[in-house]
Structure 1
Amino acid sequence: MNIFEVATRKKFRFPFKGLVSVEDLWDLSVQNLDLVFKTLNSELKKTQEESLLNTKAKEDKELEQKVEIVKHIVNVKLEEENMRLKAKEQKEQKQKIMEILLAKQDETLYNKSVDELKAMLAELEG
């Protein structure tokens, strides 16, 4: 079963300024998600203390699932931010190339002789 399906069916709540739902996690910044992760991870470490009985409680499995959900959301958010930055860089590069292209076209016009410019002008007028 998908971890998000498990989370919604079991109505998981996450520790952040009280309790928040899975849906609310998507609205948090990566820094705030890191705080949620640290809290959950701390709880998980407490439950994973050495024991002679290697039994996992239901709560332990739930904590592990919560940690995985937070990790997944952080990874998605980081990837989306990376894609936004790449798109921005590409847009800026395209704009720079367009400006250089326009400057080169102007330079070509400036290098034409007076007669060539008059002929071009006559062609445009008539």
Structure 2
Amino acid sequence: MTNVNLFEKAVKGKYRFQFKGIITVEDLWDLSVQNLDSIFKSLNTELKQVSEESLLQTKSSADEELENKIAIIKYIVEVKVREANKKTQEKAQREQREKILEIIEAKQNQDLQDKTIEELQAMLDNQ
């Protein structure tokens, strides 16, 4: 099932999640990865209880909803982790760029300091 179909089912089915009361699918995006993990654990426990061995292997709509809820939580966690990794990587790149620019500036200043008074005076006169 694609993610679009999964979220479409969640909206149409008015899925609700237990977390400090009842929250909607939209509210899941505001939670931390740790909070999402706790919701996942409780849903997974519920799934294990429901899927105990039975002679009748019929899936009810409640079973399907439970599996969909778990898939939604997994998807949101994956997206959040990916976004956090991207931010961390961008921050490291930005810091590296700033460091390089500082070193370039320091080397340019060093070049100026190494010039003689006459060379510096000539540079001033040419401006």
For the criterion TM > 0.5, the same-fold answer is yes
Cα offset, 1:35, TM superposition: 0.7
CA distance in 2 between counterparts of 1:11 and 1:69 reads 13
Aligned to 1:86: 89
Q: Find the counterpart in structure 2 of residue 77 from structure 1.
A: 80
Find runs of 4+ consecutive structure 1 residues off by over 3 angstroms.
none
Over the aligned positions, Cα root-mean-square deviation in angstroms equals 0.9
Task: Give me the whole-angstrom Cα distance separating, in 1, the residues matched to 2:73 and 2:84.
Answer: 16
Code of the aligned partner of 1:90: Q
Aligned length: 124
Q: Please, what TM-score do these two structures have when normalized by structure 2?
A: 0.94
2:43 partner letter: L
Structure 2: which 5+ residue stretches go unaligned? Answer: none
**What does residue 39 of structure 1 align with?**
42
SS at 2:54 equivalent: coil
Counterpart mapping for 1:49-68 below 5 A: 49-68=52-71
Deviation of 1:17 after TM superposition, in Å, equals: 0.9
Cα deviation digits, residues 25-78 of structure 1 (max 9, x gap): 000111100011011111001111011121111111110000000000011011
Matched, 1:108 2:115: no
Query: Could you list the runs of 5+ residues in structure 1 that have no partner in the other structure?
Result: none
TM-score normalised per structure 1: 0.95
Identity between Structure 1 and Structure 2 (%): 55
Q: Secondary structure at the match of 1:2?
A: helix
